[in-house]
Amino acid sequence: MVSQLSTSEAVSQPQKTRFSTKCLRRLLALFILPALSLCASWSVAQSPNFDVLIEPLTAVDRQFMAEQRMRVEQLANRLGRGLTGVVDRDLDTLQRILDERMVPAEDTLTLQAMGVVFGDLLGERLDMDWVVYRDSKGRSRALRYRQIDVYLFPVTMISRRQEGGSERRLKPLFDDTVRDTRPLLPGGKWFQ
């Protein structure tokens, strides 16, 4: 048996449609508003007023930096040397790698690996530790003095100079960086 269509249901269908449209609008509003607020907070984080965020190195950062150190160690081994942690010797090794043009100026990754080793030496001399530094320009690995806002960015110190054609020696760069940074540290005036 087939049920008959009644005119009373036909009259009520537009009301059901309006009701479901209202429900649909409410549901969309429930999902769209949180999405808009998320986008707004993301845009604030990307604005020029974004504060600096300091975090510890992640496991990935530590592994990547260890691989970079090994890359430089392999270059040093080709010179019959190794990285020792002794500032003058390791700076001389890094300088010889540059002088013998073992790394082309376009090899940013290896030059930044050398920057990590250079940073290890700076960190040892200035009692600074590696951290992740985030600001409106992005994410970097930096050296920080304890909980004080004194930062160095040694990863790019060598690569930017080499890519720019600079012939500046690493020993004076190291000494100047230490000399300029020490007064910013607590008790640093005593080193002058």
Domain that includes residue 36, residue range: 10-46
Q: Is 160 in the same domain as 67?
A: yes
Q: What is the CATH number of the domain that holds 133?
A: 1.20.120.1090
Q: Is 168 in the same domain as 77?
A: yes
Q: How confident is the model at residue 3 (pLDDT cuts 50, 70, 90)?
A: low
pLDDT digits (tens, 9 = 90+) for 86-123: 999 999 999 999 999 999 999 999 999 999 999 999 99
Q: Is 69 in the same domain as 124?
A: yes
Contact 178, 125 (CB under 8 A): yes
* pTM listed for this prediction: 0.73
Within the chain, residue ranges assigned H as helices are 7-45, 59-78, 87-99, 108-126, 157-163, 170-181
Q: Is 83 in the same domain as 155?
A: yes
pLDDT digits (tens, 9 = 90+) for 125-159: 999 999 999 999 999 999 999 999 999 999 999 99
Average pLDDT, the chain: 84
Contact 95, 167 (CB under 8 A): no
Over residues 68-75, the mean pLDDT reads: 98
